[in-house]
Amino acid sequence: MNDALLAQAKRLPVSERLEFIAALWDTLEANELPITREEREILEARMADIEANPSAEESWSEAKAWLESRPR
């Protein structure tokens, strides 16, 4: 890791650090992301459930509304 770059990033305001993180994340390709065997199994099980129960799916707006209604 480039310590000078990290030090420079740490001096940015929080909002700019978050933008930097998002921009950096967007440079990664899906096949570059490490995933464990356990994580892959969870994802495959969830995808199988979605395919087996398509009517149980919710839209993003429904899921977001549910998340926002939960106490914090």
Domain boundaries, the chain: 3-69
- Count the Cβ atoms, other than its own, within 10 Å of residue 71: 3
pLDDT digit string (tens) for 31-72?
898 999 999 999 999 999 989 998 888 889 999 999 999 988
pLDDT digit string (tens) for 8-25?
999 999 999 999 999 999
* 20 close to 12: Cβ distance less than 8 angstroms: yes
Q: Is the pLDDT at 30 greater than 90, yes or no?
A: no
Q: What is the pLDDT of residue 55?
A: 84
Q: Which residues contact 9 (CB under 8 A, 6 or more apart)?
A: 17, 20
Q: What is the pLDDT of residue 58?
A: 85
pTM over 0.85: no
Q: What is the pLDDT of residue 38?
A: 97
Give the ranges where 1-72 is alpha helix by DSSP (H): 3-10, 14-25, 37-52, 60-69
How far is the C-alpha of 62 from the C-alpha of 68, rounded, in Å? 10
